[in-house]
A = this chain, B = another copy of it.
Amino acid sequence: MTDEHYMKIAIAEAQKAFDKDEVPIGAVVVLQDKIIARAHNQVELLNDSTAHAEILALTTAYQFLGSKYLPEATLYVTVEPCLMCSGALYWSKIGRIVFGTYDEKNSYRRSTGTNNPFHPKTEIVGGVMEEDCAGLMKEFFKRLR
């Protein structure tokens, strides 16, 4: 399966968040071409600023595998991760991170600059289905105003 295939599923998760008035970000964890976790942002529902899609997806993946590391897995997420999620992904030792749209305001790069916060073996790919991922975010914040 292609990165686009899994990103579409992450976008479907983001759409669920959108429909519940949550910032529309979705994430999927894939291992050996199987989805082992899918989640969307639930900060408002849970009243919990740590309930980002990536954190919820990682926790689900850990439970599913009974492992606290995911070196063979890929995380698909519709928006470039924030600092918290990047730190969580560092600890996961995840094999690959594929994200949709870049986030100049809230991504980890705001704090890390050119330093790489991920595990040295983690591959990171950005811009997959960027327009669709960005479109949901733009629509959400346009509605808020």
Q: Which residues of chain B have C-beta atoms less than 8 A from A83's C-beta?
A: 83, 86-87, 90, 117
In this complex, the member of A50, A68, A108 whose beta carbon has the largest number of chain B beta carbons within 10 angstroms is: A50
* Interface presence of A88 (CB below 8 A): yes
Question: Binding site of A, secondary structure by majority: helix, strand, loop or mixed?
Answer: helix
Q: CA of A84 to CA of B63 in the docked complex: distance in angstroms?
A: 19
* Interface presence of A39 (CB below 8 A): no
| Interface bits A39-55 vs B (CB < 8 Å: 1, else 0) | 00001101111100001
Q: Which of A73-131 touch B at CB < 8 Å? A: 82-88, 90-92, 108, 111-113, 115-117
Using a CB–CB cutoff of 8 Å, the interface residues on chain A facing chain B are: 43-44, 46-50, 55, 58-59, 62-63, 66-69, 82-88, 90-92, 108, 111-113, 115-117
